[in-house]
Structure 1
Amino acid sequence: MEGSRQTDGRVRRAERTRVSIVDAHVRLLREGTLKPSAKTIAEAAGVSVRTLWLAFGDMESLFAQTVAYWFASDDALAVVIDPALELERRIDRFCAARARRLTNIAPAARAAQLMEASSSTLRGSRRAHIENVRVEIAEVFATEIATSAAPETLCDALLAASSWNSWSILHDDLGRTVEECEAAMRHAFTALLAGCR
């Protein structure tokens, strides 16, 4: 019984350590340190580099846990939009929610751009995120997509208009505010869906 309690205690401590390392990694990304070293992450978590490697084994394993954090964070901001609502209200709700979510994942997306070439975990994360957005678009605008002469192309265009890449061009490269980026997205959705009423 005593041995079992000790084992349980070690498991809980190991899990707390893993959580603190992921939290430190996320915090560094939010603060703008987009490519932190293992040493920087360990210091931010208040542990040794050896402890970090014992907890995760390699950076890909840490990336996987950090990606899981961002996906959960993104899911928490998701809103259910009734496909039966009038089109204008669906566009407004979708674009407002997408703006909140893109603002939230911005640090992770910027960091991933720097490291995707050498990380299969980050490449997989980007593909999964794109597919999730595409599914949401297909659900919220199902009626319009179904009546379009080119449904696949319309879905692609809506995805592009609400993608991180488009958001980054407007916000990071052109210096547009969050409100201006959201307005541009809404304008694109309205124009793309106008002929599908």
Structure 2
Amino acid sequence: MSEAPVDGRAARAQRTRQIIADAHIALINDGELRPSAKQIAARAGVSQRALWDNFKDMESLMAGTARRQLAIQDADFIPVNPDLSLAERIGRYCDQRAGMLEALAPLARAADIQRPFSPALQENLRENLQRIRMAFEALFARELEDLDSAERAELTLAACATADWANWQLLRDQLQLPRAQATAVLYRTLSALLDTHRQYAGNQSNNQRKKQS
């Protein structure tokens, strides 16, 4: 009989954290890259005490907000069909990454400000890069399977660097490319990476057959 109230409190606490994180995201999307606790609490409709009861400091709040943004992103995620042609997979992957990065941009800019001083945000970045890597390896498994482990790792890391926020920010903010052109650059780069390594794998296979003959 005593477990139900505990479960209810846990559910309410989780809901409150979600409301606070959503308010934080909304403020950042409105252009407040470093909103105060007072602003966040007011936007969430909770007291500052409730905010600090759920997040011990601004770092844990930022990390919680990043997790909330990721959960929203995952809920809307539709995997690209791995049976499509290489060109179609690259195209859809690039369109998908562009959409994700555009949605993530305000929060990513806010995280960039605080990450040098935040172990939680540094860990969040490492986790995001790992997610990019795993998604790339799953979608382009056919192209990776003929490469040796070193080449496979090199190609995957190059693709992760290409598809990450830092590169997108360079294209959009520093070079001031429109989204369509930035997406085209992403497509061209990934196409070149995959085609070059496909040719490498083919040459390695031909050389191996020549040695055996």
Aligned length: 196
- Report the counterpart of residue 126 of structure 1 in structure 2: 125
The residue correspondences of 1:124-163 to structure 2 (distance < 5 A) are 124-148=123-147, 150-163=151-164
Superimposed CA distance per residue, residues 39-82 of structure 1 (whole angstroms, 9 cap, x where no aligned partner): 22122223332232123232233223212211112213422223
1:56, 1:62 within 8 Å by CA — same for their partners in 2? yes
Give deviations 1:99-153, integer Å, cap 9, x for gaps.
1111111112111111112222211111111000011111111222233472221
Q: 4+ residue runs of structure 1 moved beyond 4 angstroms?
A: 3-16
One-letter identity of the residue aligned with 1:161: T
Q: Which residue of 2 aligns with 1:38?
A: 37
The answer to whether the 8 A contact 2:18-2:68 is kept is no
Unpaired runs of 5+ residues, structure 2, are: 200-213
Which residue type is aligned with residue 170 of structure 2? I
In the alignment, the residues of structure 1 paired with residue 141 and residue 14 of structure 2 have an alpha-carbon distance, to the nearest angstrom, of 42
Q: Evaluate the alpha carbon distance shift between residue 142 and residue 58 of structure 1 in structure 2; reply closer, same or farther with a 3 A threshold.
A: same
1:14-29 matched pairs, under 5 angstroms: 14-29=13-28
**Mean Cα deviation higher: 182-191 or 72-81:** 72-81
Letter in 1 for 2:18: V
Residue 187 (structure 1) shift: 0.8
Q: Secondary structure at the match of 2:145?
A: helix
What secondary structure does 1:22 align onto? Answer: helix
Matched, 1:165 2:166: yes
Superposed CA deviations along residues 133-186 of structure 1, whole A, max 9, x for unmatched, are 011111111222233472221111111111111100011111111111111100
Q: What does 1:1-197 align with in structure 2 at a 5 Å threshold? A: 14-148=13-147, 150-195=151-196, 196=198
TM-score normalised per structure 2: 0.81
In 1, the alpha carbon distance for the partners of 2:152 and 2:4 equals 58
CA distance change for structure 1 residues 12 and 127 in 2, over 3 Å: closer, same or farther?
A: closer
Distance 1:4 1:49 in 2: 28
Q: CA separation in 1, counterparts of 2:90 and 2:58?
A: 39
> Bigger shift: 125-134 or 16-25?
16-25
Task: Tell which deviates more after alignment, 68-77 or 87-96.
Answer: 68-77
| Aligned mates of 1:29, 1:141 — CA distance in 2 | 34
CA RMSD of aligned residues (A): 2.4
Are the counterparts in 2 of residues 161 and 189 from structure 1 also a CA contact under 8 Å? yes
